[in-house]
Amino acid sequence: MTIFFSSKLALPPIARQLTANSLTIRGFIYAAGLLLTVTSLSACQSKGESTGQRAEEPAATAPTSDLPPQALRISPAQAAAAGITLGGFSHQNMTSEVVANGVLDVPPQNHVSISAVMGGYVQQVKVLPGQYVKKGAVVAVLRHPDYLKLQQEYLQARARLRFLGQELERQQELDAEDVGSKRRLQQAQSEQQTELATERSLAGQLRLLGLVPERLRAASLSPSVSLTTPIGGYVKVVSINPGQFVNPQDVLVEVVDRSGLHLELKVFEKDIAQVRKGQRVLFTIPNSRLEQTLEARVFLVGQAFDDEARTVSVHAHLEPTSATLLPGQYVAARIQTEGARQQTLPEEAVIQAEELSYIFAREGTASTGYHFRRYQVKAGPPQHGDVTITPLEPLPDTTQLVRRGAYFLQAEFTKGQQE
């Protein structure tokens, strides 16, 4: 604000004094107003800058992960809720294992296929599949005219042999008295030996049919013969029915003796060097409801390779068990080889992710929570709740490993990756 004074205006002295004083007061008021305006503007600017700083603060303090790719952070409350426990490796004598597949089998002498020595018609079938039969029990009865003919020939040969024996004795007496000729004596000896061979051959054929030649009489000839089992066991297969004609090459009945039941395993070429006689075998029956793990002992290791599958047969005797096992059942087995002292962790401390295995270790503690890191390891098969661990990265002996609560950490780790 500017005030103009005219030099031509004449004012009294007292008026000039009042005018000067008025100008001084007005100038002071103007200066005070200007100072108040500047202070207000400065305050507004400072307030605006403070407000802007607070608006930008969340962006400056937004959570940025400063952890390695395989690490995560959880709060103390989460660690307590998950029941995480820490510790180091345990060292135990863990046996290594050779995985093998195979079947339950019996020795060849415990598996019998019953056939007819001579063809004939089935007259009776005495057994059913699954039935237990004793040694010598009749399983079927066959009928054919040739059986009668064979018995007839045997009786005729036996009668003729008796006559030739008597003729030989007479010729020997005549030769002793020097009455008979040497030729007739020799002829009698020859005929007697020939008929003896015939009689014994026919007697052997009758025994194969299940008949007893010594008990055979002309009045007891029969067109039927009985087939018997040479071993006791369970009937596996019955492939005949009454009225059916069977040939000598046909298998009529199969009988299996389970007393010699054992494992026949196929071990790959790369693993056979670790298998020894007497080693323990743990096996299960995958396709049955039997969930029990059974035991056996290796008693025979094959010495020849299967050229196609490149495997070797390994046989193992079963340990006593109350489980019902049948020949031909498929088994999944683990042959326990020599043991060694190895690093182990509880099974619940190892995370299986597809073909990889992981464990967790605590890296440090901060005010914001606990830091954990995930390590990739090679895990062996579980044994009595423990797993053999081979770290794929260096792990100091003082590392605090997660022995319990690893699955909670894995869930948090996976959730963090998804976010």
Which of 257-261, 288-292, 392-396 has the least mean pLDDT?
Answer: 288-292
Domain count across the chain: 3
Q: How confident is the model over 87-99, as a mean pLDDT?
A: 82
Q: Are residues 207 and 299 in the same domain?
A: no
Domain boundary among the residues 339, 373, 396 is at 339
Question: Which of 228, 255, 282 lies at the terminal end of a domain, its last residue?
Answer: 255
Domain range spanning residue 323? 99-107+257-339
Q: What is the mean pLDDT of the chain?
A: 81
pLDDT, tens only, 167-177: 888 888 888 87
In angstroms and rounded to an integer, the radius of gyration of the C-alpha atoms of the chain is 53
Phi and psi, residue 55, nearest 5°? -70, -35
Tell me: do 246 and 266 sit in the same domain.
no
pLDDT attached to residue 127? 95
- The predicted-structure confidence for 16-45, as pLDDT tens digits, reads as follows 443 444 444 454 444 444 444 444 444 444
User: Taking the complete model, does pTM exceed 0.95, yes or no?
Assistant: no
Q: Using CB atoms within 10 A of its CB, is residue 263 exposed (0-12), middle (13-18) or buried (19+)?
A: buried
Residue with tokens 């066959």: 142
Looking at the fold, whether 179 and 274 belong to one and the same domain comes out as no
| CATH code for position 376 | 2.40.420.20
Q: How many CA atoms lie within 13 A of 271 on its CB side?
A: 19
Q: Judge whether 224 lies within some domain.
A: yes
Question: For position 94, what pLDDT does the model report?
Answer: 72
Query: Residue 123: its pLDDT value, please?
Result: 96
Are 154 and 196 found together in one domain? yes
Instruction: Assess if residue 40 is contained within a domain.
Output: no
Same-domain check for residues 268 and 136: no
Is the distance from CB of 404 to CB of 348 less than 8 angstroms? yes
**pLDDT value at 5 more than 70:** no
How many whole angstroms separate alpha carbon 124 and alpha carbon 1?
Answer: 142
Mark which of 295, 324, 339 sits at the end of a domain: 339
Q: Are both 261 and 237 inside the same structural domain?
A: no
Q: What is the predicted pLDDT for the residue at 61?
A: 35
Is 61 part of any domain? no
Region 306-310: mean pLDDT is 85
Indicate whether 307 pLDDT > 50: yes
pLDDT computed for residue 48 by the predictor:
41
414: alpha, beta or left, given left = phi > 0 and alpha = psi -120 to 50? alpha
Same domain membership, residue 124 and residue 175: yes
Which comes out higher in pLDDT, residue 397 or 86?
Answer: 86
- Predicted pLDDT of residue 416: 67
Q: For residue 417, what pLDDT is reported? A: 64
**What's the pLDDT at 65?**
52
Amino acid 15: pLDDT: 42
**Is residue 117 assigned to a domain?**
yes
How confident is residue 419, by pLDDT bands cut at 50, 70 and 90?
A: low
